[in-house]
Amino acid sequence: DRERRLLMQLATFGRDQRLLITRDVTQLERLETTRRDFVANVSHELRTPLTVLVGFLETLRDMPADALSAEQRTHYMTLMYDQGQVMQALVADLLTLSTLESAPSQEGQAIRCDSLLATPRQQVESLSAGKHVFSWHIDPDLQIRGSETELASAVSNLLTNAVRYTPEGGTISVTFEATPDGGARYVVTDTGIGIAAHHIDRLTERFYRVDRSRSRAAGGTGLGLAITKHIAMRHDAELEITSVLGQGSTFALVFPPERVGEKNPHPAKS
């Protein structure tokens, strides 16, 4: 009887081990597939601008020196410069992602939301070049605890996308306010092209784009929302996306109370 019990125990143990090993292998295989897809994607993303750049350089190299007017020369230089910038943006975003993945997240310090948004606001208004109407409602007393560089990059990614995917004449409203539970919400709403429901869950995947050529033309790398989502996670925040195709989108970062600084802090007693 004891022998039978022992045998049964052994059999169960064996099965459990097998289950564990199978799970480990599946996970390894999944990681390996993700890694392979990522390398393939990066290579593909770099190859396109490189092909254009090398093509232009070859053409220019093989032309007689006086074959182009000054304007034509500037035109080709600008085209090549743009391709260089595409690659620069891609490499910058890849470096950001890899830093986010390797560096441990830190407590950080309390940052005032209005100062956090000062530079992104200037940048996005200059990117829009007067083509959009902006409305800003940022609580000047609100503070978020975290990494200033990361948070600035997250808030700025959502603003840049709003401009990229909103045609001329559209409105972009930005709010950063406390929520009733003591948390905070940063919300960017646009009246742009919107996103069909079936894309929404996939937007934070690396290189996922609804319309690749539109994103490229607008200077997108396809990594902005992957980066933003990562930064949100490192700050215990949620990235919420709602959108109606043809009407516009809302992207929100929702911070829990633990991340929100005291409003109107009392001056320290001396």
Binding site for ligand ADP (CB under 6 A): 157, 161-162, 164-165, 190, 192-193, 195, 203, 209-211, 215, 220-226, 249
Cβ 129 to ligand ADP, closest distance in Å? 18
Cβ 27 to ligand ADP, closest distance in Å? 26
Q: Residue 49 or 222: which CB sits closer to ligand ADP?
A: 222
Q: Residue 120 or 220: which CB sits closer to ligand ADP?
A: 220
Distances (CA, A) of 176 to 62, 89, 140, 261: 55, 27, 9, 13
Cβ 247 to ligand ADP, closest distance in Å? 10
CB 84 within 8 A of CB 246: no
Cβ 229 to ligand ADP, closest distance in Å? 9
Amino acid at 170: G
Cβ 82 to ligand ADP, closest distance in Å? 15
In sequence order, the 6+-apart residues with CB closer than 8 A to the CB of 204 are: 225, 226, 228, 229, 239
Nearest one of 44, 80, 42, 85 to 61, comparing CA atoms: 80
Q: Residue 150 or 190: which CB sits closer to ligand ADP?
A: 190
CA separation for the pair 200, 135 (Å, rounded): 25
Q: Residue 112 or 212: which CB sits closer to ligand ADP?
A: 212
Q: Residue 142 or 150: which CB sits closer to ligand ADP?
A: 150
Cβ 138 to ligand ADP, closest distance in Å? 19
Q: Residue 56 or 134: which CB sits closer to ligand ADP?
A: 134
Q: In this structure, which long-range contacts are made by residues 54-63, counting pairs with CB atoms below 8 Å and at least 24 apart in sequence? A: 56/80, 56/83
SS3 of residue 99 by DSSP: helix
Give the relative orientation of helices 113-128 and 148-164 as an angle to the nearest 10 degrees: 30
